[in-house]
Structure 1
Amino acid sequence: MTAEKGTGPTRPSAGAGSLALTGSASLNVGVASLRYDHRCWKVHWNHVLRAYSALEADYQNLVDRNKMMFDVDAFFIFSTHLHEWMKRDMAKECMLTPEQLNELNRLFYTDPALVLGKDIANTQKHHTRTGGRMAFVAEVSVYFVGQRAEAQIQVVGEDAPKDALGLATQAVASWQAFIDDHKLQPT
Protein backbone atom coordinates (compact mmCIF):
# COMPACT_ATOMS: atom_id res chain seq x y z
CA MET A 1 0.00 0.00 0.00
CA THR A 2 1.38 3.42 -0.88
CA ALA A 3 0.55 6.75 0.67
CA GLU A 4 -0.43 9.88 -1.23
CA LYS A 5 0.79 13.17 0.17
CA GLY A 6 -1.49 16.14 -0.02
CA THR A 7 -2.48 19.13 2.00
CA GLY A 8 -4.26 16.99 4.58
CA PRO A 9 -3.22 13.93 6.47
CA THR A 10 -1.36 11.14 4.72
CA ARG A 11 -3.89 8.78 3.18
CA PRO A 12 -3.50 5.32 1.76
CA SER A 13 -4.07 5.19 -1.96
CA ALA A 14 -7.13 3.40 -3.24
CA GLY A 15 -6.38 0.00 -4.74
CA ALA A 16 -6.67 -3.69 -4.11
CA GLY A 17 -6.51 -4.46 -0.42
CA SER A 18 -6.29 -0.82 0.66
CA LEU A 19 -8.55 1.66 2.36
CA ALA A 20 -9.30 5.13 0.99
CA LEU A 21 -10.10 7.95 3.41
CA THR A 22 -11.85 11.07 2.26
CA GLY A 23 -11.78 14.54 3.74
CA SER A 24 -9.70 15.07 6.83
CA ALA A 25 -10.49 11.72 8.41
CA SER A 26 -7.65 9.77 9.90
CA LEU A 27 -7.30 6.14 10.74
CA ASN A 28 -5.10 4.83 13.51
CA VAL A 29 -4.41 1.13 13.34
CA GLY A 30 -2.65 -0.87 15.99
CA VAL A 31 -1.91 -4.55 15.91
CA ALA A 32 -0.98 -6.66 18.88
CA SER A 33 0.14 -10.16 18.15
CA LEU A 34 1.70 -13.02 20.01
CA ARG A 35 3.65 -15.61 18.09
CA TYR A 36 4.42 -19.05 19.38
CA ASP A 37 7.33 -20.69 17.61
CA HIS A 38 6.63 -23.70 19.76
CA ARG A 39 3.34 -24.60 21.43
CA CYS A 40 4.57 -26.11 24.67
CA TRP A 41 2.34 -28.22 26.94
CA LYS A 42 2.68 -25.37 29.42
CA VAL A 43 0.44 -23.21 27.24
CA HIS A 44 -2.16 -25.97 27.25
CA TRP A 45 -1.93 -26.34 31.05
CA ASN A 46 -2.89 -22.68 31.25
CA HIS A 47 -5.96 -23.46 29.08
CA VAL A 48 -6.94 -26.21 31.53
CA LEU A 49 -6.72 -23.78 34.44
CA ARG A 50 -8.73 -21.11 32.61
CA ALA A 51 -11.43 -23.63 31.71
CA TYR A 52 -11.53 -24.73 35.36
CA SER A 53 -11.93 -21.10 36.50
CA ALA A 54 -14.82 -20.65 34.06
CA LEU A 55 -16.53 -23.75 35.46
CA GLU A 56 -16.02 -22.54 39.04
CA ALA A 57 -17.56 -19.20 38.10
CA ASP A 58 -20.55 -20.98 36.54
CA TYR A 59 -21.28 -22.66 39.86
CA GLN A 60 -21.30 -19.30 41.62
CA ASN A 61 -23.55 -17.51 39.15
CA LEU A 62 -26.86 -18.02 37.49
CA VAL A 63 -25.80 -19.27 34.08
CA ASP A 64 -27.85 -20.73 31.31
CA ARG A 65 -27.83 -24.43 30.59
CA ASN A 66 -25.91 -24.11 27.33
CA LYS A 67 -23.05 -22.11 28.88
CA MET A 68 -22.71 -24.60 31.70
CA MET A 69 -22.67 -27.57 29.30
CA PHE A 70 -20.12 -25.81 27.09
CA ASP A 71 -17.84 -25.01 30.03
CA VAL A 72 -18.01 -28.58 31.37
CA ASP A 73 -17.17 -30.01 27.94
CA ALA A 74 -14.41 -27.42 27.38
CA PHE A 75 -12.74 -28.26 30.69
CA PHE A 76 -12.68 -32.00 30.09
CA ILE A 77 -11.53 -31.61 26.48
CA PHE A 78 -8.59 -29.41 27.52
CA SER A 79 -7.78 -31.69 30.46
CA THR A 80 -7.82 -34.77 28.23
CA HIS A 81 -5.71 -33.14 25.52
CA LEU A 82 -3.07 -32.13 28.07
CA HIS A 83 -1.91 -35.76 28.15
CA GLU A 84 -1.13 -35.75 24.43
CA TRP A 85 0.55 -32.35 24.61
CA MET A 86 2.82 -33.49 27.42
CA LYS A 87 3.52 -36.82 25.73
CA ARG A 88 4.42 -35.39 22.33
CA ASP A 89 6.25 -32.20 23.30
CA MET A 90 9.86 -32.55 22.12
CA ALA A 91 11.16 -29.05 22.81
CA LYS A 92 14.10 -29.17 25.20
CA GLU A 93 12.45 -26.91 27.79
CA CYS A 94 9.17 -28.88 27.69
CA MET A 95 10.11 -32.51 27.00
CA LEU A 96 9.47 -35.14 29.65
CA THR A 97 12.01 -37.83 30.48
CA PRO A 98 11.19 -41.47 29.64
CA GLU A 99 10.42 -42.07 33.33
CA GLN A 100 8.11 -39.08 33.44
CA LEU A 101 6.36 -40.28 30.27
CA ASN A 102 5.74 -43.70 31.84
CA GLU A 103 4.31 -42.05 34.94
CA LEU A 104 2.21 -39.69 32.77
CA ASN A 105 0.65 -42.64 30.93
CA ARG A 106 0.04 -44.53 34.17
CA LEU A 107 -1.69 -41.48 35.64
CA PHE A 108 -3.79 -40.75 32.56
CA TYR A 109 -5.07 -44.30 32.19
CA THR A 110 -5.62 -45.11 35.88
CA ASP A 111 -6.62 -41.90 37.67
CA PRO A 112 -10.42 -42.09 38.07
CA ALA A 113 -11.04 -38.37 37.42
CA LEU A 114 -8.80 -38.31 34.32
CA VAL A 115 -10.27 -41.54 32.94
CA LEU A 116 -13.84 -40.28 33.35
CA GLY A 117 -12.77 -36.90 31.94
CA LYS A 118 -11.44 -38.70 28.87
CA ASP A 119 -14.80 -40.45 28.51
CA ILE A 120 -16.61 -37.11 28.72
CA ALA A 121 -14.31 -35.55 26.10
CA ASN A 122 -14.69 -38.52 23.75
CA THR A 123 -18.46 -38.66 24.18
CA GLN A 124 -18.62 -34.96 23.29
CA LYS A 125 -16.35 -35.48 20.29
CA HIS A 126 -18.31 -38.36 18.73
CA HIS A 127 -22.01 -38.47 17.95
CA THR A 128 -22.13 -42.19 18.71
CA ARG A 129 -19.49 -44.08 20.64
CA THR A 130 -18.83 -47.59 19.39
CA GLY A 131 -16.36 -48.38 22.14
CA GLY A 132 -15.50 -47.01 25.52
CA ARG A 133 -17.78 -45.54 28.13
CA MET A 134 -20.34 -42.86 27.31
CA ALA A 135 -20.37 -39.97 29.77
CA PHE A 136 -22.03 -36.61 29.29
CA VAL A 137 -23.66 -33.66 31.04
CA ALA A 138 -27.05 -35.12 31.93
CA GLU A 139 -28.44 -32.30 34.03
CA VAL A 140 -27.75 -28.66 34.71
CA SER A 141 -29.49 -27.27 37.76
CA VAL A 142 -29.77 -23.58 38.50
CA TYR A 143 -30.79 -22.75 42.05
CA PHE A 144 -32.34 -19.32 42.39
CA VAL A 145 -32.20 -19.59 46.16
CA GLY A 146 -28.56 -19.00 46.89
CA GLN A 147 -28.04 -18.09 43.24
CA ARG A 148 -25.85 -20.93 42.15
CA ALA A 149 -25.80 -23.55 39.44
CA GLU A 150 -24.40 -27.04 39.14
CA ALA A 151 -24.00 -29.72 36.49
CA GLN A 152 -24.26 -33.46 36.85
CA ILE A 153 -22.32 -35.95 34.72
CA GLN A 154 -24.18 -39.12 33.83
CA VAL A 155 -22.15 -42.19 33.01
CA VAL A 156 -24.16 -44.63 30.91
CA GLY A 157 -24.68 -47.80 32.92
CA GLU A 158 -24.21 -46.13 36.31
CA ASP A 159 -27.07 -44.98 38.51
CA ALA A 160 -25.59 -42.09 40.44
CA PRO A 161 -24.53 -38.97 38.52
CA LYS A 162 -21.30 -37.20 39.40
CA ASP A 163 -20.87 -33.52 40.13
CA ALA A 164 -19.01 -31.86 37.24
CA LEU A 165 -17.09 -29.33 39.35
CA GLY A 166 -16.11 -31.99 41.88
CA LEU A 167 -14.77 -34.17 39.07
CA ALA A 168 -12.95 -31.22 37.48
CA THR A 169 -11.42 -30.35 40.86
CA GLN A 170 -10.11 -33.91 41.18
CA ALA A 171 -8.68 -33.77 37.63
CA VAL A 172 -6.86 -30.48 38.28
CA ALA A 173 -5.48 -31.87 41.55
CA SER A 174 -4.20 -34.98 39.73
CA TRP A 175 -2.48 -32.93 37.02
CA GLN A 176 -1.06 -30.50 39.59
CA ALA A 177 0.32 -33.36 41.69
CA PHE A 178 2.02 -34.82 38.60
CA ILE A 179 3.55 -31.45 37.73
CA ASP A 180 4.70 -30.90 41.33
CA ASP A 181 5.97 -34.45 41.89
CA HIS A 182 8.15 -34.26 38.79
CA LYS A 183 9.29 -30.70 39.51
CA LEU A 184 8.01 -29.49 36.14
CA GLN A 185 7.87 -25.76 35.61
CA PRO A 186 4.41 -24.96 34.21
CA THR A 187 5.21 -21.30 33.40
Structure 2
Amino acid sequence: MSVRTYSKRKDGGVKLSANFSVAEFACHDGSDSVLISVELVALLQKIRDHFGKPVTINSAYRTAAWNAKQGGAPKSQHLRGMAADITITGVSPLAVAQYAEFLQPKAGGIGVYQSFTHVDVRAVRTRWDSRSGTEKAVSGWPGYMEASELDKAVDKLVSAGVIDSPDRWKTGNWTDRAVELLIIKMAAKV
Protein backbone atom coordinates (compact mmCIF):
# COMPACT_ATOMS: atom_id res chain seq x y z
CA MET A 1 0.00 0.00 0.00
CA SER A 2 1.24 3.41 -0.94
CA VAL A 3 0.32 6.13 1.58
CA ARG A 4 1.49 9.68 1.05
CA THR A 5 1.66 12.55 3.52
CA TYR A 6 0.34 15.98 2.53
CA SER A 7 -0.04 19.36 4.18
CA LYS A 8 -3.64 20.57 4.23
CA ARG A 9 -2.41 24.16 4.26
CA LYS A 10 0.03 23.80 1.33
CA ASP A 11 -1.54 20.94 -0.64
CA GLY A 12 -5.27 21.25 0.14
CA GLY A 13 -6.19 22.12 -3.45
CA VAL A 14 -3.98 19.46 -5.04
CA LYS A 15 -6.02 17.12 -7.25
CA LEU A 16 -5.41 13.45 -6.44
CA SER A 17 -7.71 12.21 -9.22
CA ALA A 18 -10.32 13.62 -11.57
CA ASN A 19 -12.75 14.32 -8.70
CA PHE A 20 -10.83 14.30 -5.41
CA SER A 21 -8.43 16.74 -3.77
CA VAL A 22 -6.27 16.58 -0.65
CA ALA A 23 -8.53 18.80 1.49
CA GLU A 24 -11.39 16.28 1.29
CA PHE A 25 -9.28 13.68 3.13
CA ALA A 26 -8.12 15.99 5.97
CA CYS A 27 -8.92 15.26 9.59
CA HIS A 28 -11.77 17.35 11.02
CA ASP A 29 -9.68 18.34 14.04
CA GLY A 30 -7.92 21.06 12.04
CA SER A 31 -4.51 19.39 11.97
CA ASP A 32 -2.29 20.12 8.96
CA SER A 33 -0.87 16.68 8.18
CA VAL A 34 -3.00 14.44 5.95
CA LEU A 35 -2.22 10.78 5.18
CA ILE A 36 -3.82 9.48 1.98
CA SER A 37 -3.59 6.06 0.37
CA VAL A 38 -3.14 6.10 -3.40
CA GLU A 39 -5.25 2.93 -3.57
CA LEU A 40 -8.06 4.54 -1.56
CA VAL A 41 -8.22 7.47 -3.98
CA ALA A 42 -8.37 5.03 -6.92
CA LEU A 43 -11.19 3.07 -5.22
CA LEU A 44 -13.21 6.21 -4.51
CA GLN A 45 -12.74 7.44 -8.08
CA LYS A 46 -14.04 4.11 -9.44
CA ILE A 47 -17.09 4.37 -7.16
CA ARG A 48 -17.70 7.96 -8.28
CA ASP A 49 -17.34 7.06 -11.97
CA HIS A 50 -19.69 4.10 -11.61
CA PHE A 51 -22.53 6.01 -9.94
CA GLY A 52 -21.91 9.17 -11.95
CA LYS A 53 -22.52 11.32 -8.88
CA PRO A 54 -20.27 13.13 -6.41
CA VAL A 55 -18.93 11.07 -3.52
CA THR A 56 -18.98 12.99 -0.25
CA ILE A 57 -16.17 12.03 2.10
CA ASN A 58 -17.56 12.41 5.62
CA SER A 59 -14.37 11.20 7.27
CA ALA A 60 -11.07 9.97 5.87
CA TYR A 61 -7.73 10.52 7.63
CA ARG A 62 -8.01 10.87 11.42
CA THR A 63 -5.40 11.73 14.02
CA ALA A 64 -5.31 9.36 16.99
CA ALA A 65 -6.89 11.99 19.26
CA TRP A 66 -9.74 12.72 16.81
CA ASN A 67 -10.32 9.02 16.18
CA ALA A 68 -10.64 8.38 19.93
CA LYS A 69 -12.99 11.36 20.31
CA GLN A 70 -15.19 9.94 17.53
CA GLY A 71 -15.27 6.49 19.15
CA GLY A 72 -13.22 4.95 16.33
CA ALA A 73 -11.51 1.58 16.62
CA PRO A 74 -8.04 1.82 18.21
CA LYS A 75 -6.47 0.31 15.06
CA SER A 76 -8.77 2.05 12.60
CA GLN A 77 -7.67 2.26 8.97
CA HIS A 78 -8.56 5.96 9.17
CA LEU A 79 -5.42 6.44 11.31
CA ARG A 80 -3.31 5.18 8.41
CA GLY A 81 -5.03 7.23 5.69
CA MET A 82 -6.48 4.09 4.16
CA ALA A 83 -10.21 4.53 4.90
CA ALA A 84 -13.12 6.81 4.09
CA ASP A 85 -16.70 7.05 5.27
CA ILE A 86 -18.70 8.14 2.24
CA THR A 87 -22.17 9.05 1.03
CA ILE A 88 -23.63 9.50 -2.43
CA THR A 89 -26.87 11.47 -2.75
CA GLY A 90 -29.65 9.19 -3.97
CA VAL A 91 -27.63 5.98 -3.50
CA SER A 92 -28.15 3.77 -0.45
CA PRO A 93 -25.19 2.80 1.73
CA LEU A 94 -25.93 -0.84 0.85
CA ALA A 95 -25.74 -0.16 -2.91
CA VAL A 96 -22.37 1.55 -2.41
CA ALA A 97 -21.17 -1.43 -0.36
CA GLN A 98 -22.31 -3.88 -3.02
CA TYR A 99 -20.35 -2.06 -5.70
CA ALA A 100 -17.30 -1.78 -3.40
CA GLU A 101 -17.60 -5.55 -2.83
CA PHE A 102 -17.53 -6.06 -6.60
CA LEU A 103 -14.38 -3.91 -6.85
CA GLN A 104 -12.50 -5.59 -4.02
CA PRO A 105 -13.95 -9.04 -3.33
CA LYS A 106 -10.84 -10.49 -1.66
CA ALA A 107 -9.47 -7.59 0.39
CA GLY A 108 -10.37 -4.31 2.03
CA GLY A 109 -12.90 -3.36 4.65
CA ILE A 110 -16.52 -2.52 3.89
CA GLY A 111 -18.98 -1.47 6.56
CA VAL A 112 -22.58 -0.40 6.10
CA TYR A 113 -24.13 2.14 8.46
CA GLN A 114 -27.54 3.85 8.50
CA SER A 115 -26.37 6.90 6.58
CA PHE A 116 -22.95 6.09 5.12
CA THR A 117 -20.61 3.39 3.85
CA HIS A 118 -17.12 2.76 5.19
CA VAL A 119 -14.56 1.61 2.61
CA ASP A 120 -10.90 0.91 3.17
CA VAL A 121 -8.02 -0.68 1.32
CA ARG A 122 -6.44 -2.89 3.99
CA ALA A 123 -4.74 -6.07 2.76
CA VAL A 124 -7.16 -8.44 4.48
CA ARG A 125 -10.88 -8.79 3.84
CA THR A 126 -13.37 -7.72 6.52
CA ARG A 127 -17.08 -6.83 6.31
CA TRP A 128 -19.56 -5.55 8.87
CA ASP A 129 -23.09 -4.26 9.23
CA SER A 130 -23.74 -1.43 11.71
CA ARG A 131 -27.15 -0.32 10.45
CA SER A 132 -28.80 -1.44 13.69
CA GLY A 133 -26.34 0.58 15.79
CA THR A 134 -24.49 -2.58 16.81
CA GLU A 135 -21.64 -3.82 14.65
CA LYS A 136 -22.08 -7.36 13.33
CA ALA A 137 -19.59 -9.23 11.16
CA VAL A 138 -21.07 -10.36 7.85
CA SER A 139 -19.73 -12.54 5.06
CA GLY A 140 -19.94 -9.79 2.46
CA TRP A 141 -22.11 -7.52 0.36
CA PRO A 142 -23.03 -9.43 -2.79
CA GLY A 143 -25.68 -8.22 -5.19
CA TYR A 144 -23.94 -6.05 -7.73
CA MET A 145 -23.41 -7.47 -11.21
CA GLU A 146 -21.94 -5.77 -14.25
CA ALA A 147 -24.50 -5.12 -16.96
CA SER A 148 -24.32 -7.58 -19.85
CA GLU A 149 -23.72 -6.44 -23.40
CA LEU A 150 -27.40 -7.07 -24.09
CA ASP A 151 -28.46 -4.94 -21.11
CA LYS A 152 -26.18 -2.09 -22.25
CA ALA A 153 -27.53 -2.29 -25.82
CA VAL A 154 -31.14 -2.29 -24.60
CA ASP A 155 -30.45 0.71 -22.35
CA LYS A 156 -28.94 2.54 -25.33
CA LEU A 157 -32.02 1.80 -27.45
CA VAL A 158 -34.30 3.00 -24.64
CA SER A 159 -32.30 6.25 -24.41
CA ALA A 160 -32.63 6.71 -28.16
CA GLY A 161 -36.39 6.17 -27.96
CA VAL A 162 -36.30 3.06 -30.14
CA ILE A 163 -37.83 0.76 -27.52
CA ASP A 164 -39.95 1.37 -24.46
CA SER A 165 -40.07 -2.01 -22.70
CA PRO A 166 -36.50 -2.66 -21.55
CA ASP A 167 -37.37 -5.51 -19.18
CA ARG A 168 -38.94 -7.51 -21.99
CA TRP A 169 -35.91 -7.02 -24.26
CA LYS A 170 -33.32 -7.83 -21.58
CA THR A 171 -34.66 -11.37 -21.18
CA GLY A 172 -33.42 -12.39 -24.62
CA ASN A 173 -36.66 -14.36 -25.21
CA TRP A 174 -38.07 -12.64 -28.27
CA THR A 175 -40.63 -13.70 -30.81
CA ASP A 176 -39.93 -13.29 -34.51
CA ARG A 177 -42.63 -10.61 -34.65
CA ALA A 178 -41.00 -8.63 -31.80
CA VAL A 179 -37.67 -8.65 -33.66
CA GLU A 180 -39.39 -7.54 -36.86
CA LEU A 181 -41.03 -4.61 -35.04
CA LEU A 182 -37.70 -3.64 -33.51
CA ILE A 183 -36.02 -3.61 -36.92
CA ILE A 184 -38.83 -1.45 -38.31
CA LYS A 185 -38.55 1.01 -35.38
CA MET A 186 -34.76 1.18 -35.73
CA ALA A 187 -35.04 1.81 -39.46
CA ALA A 188 -37.45 4.68 -38.79
CA LYS A 189 -34.80 6.31 -36.54
CA VAL A 190 -32.05 6.13 -39.19
Given the two structures, how large is their TM-score scaled by the length of structure 1?
Answer: 0.25
Q: Identify the structure with the greater strand proportion.
A: 2
When Rg is computed on C-alpha atoms for both structures, the one with the higher figure is: 1
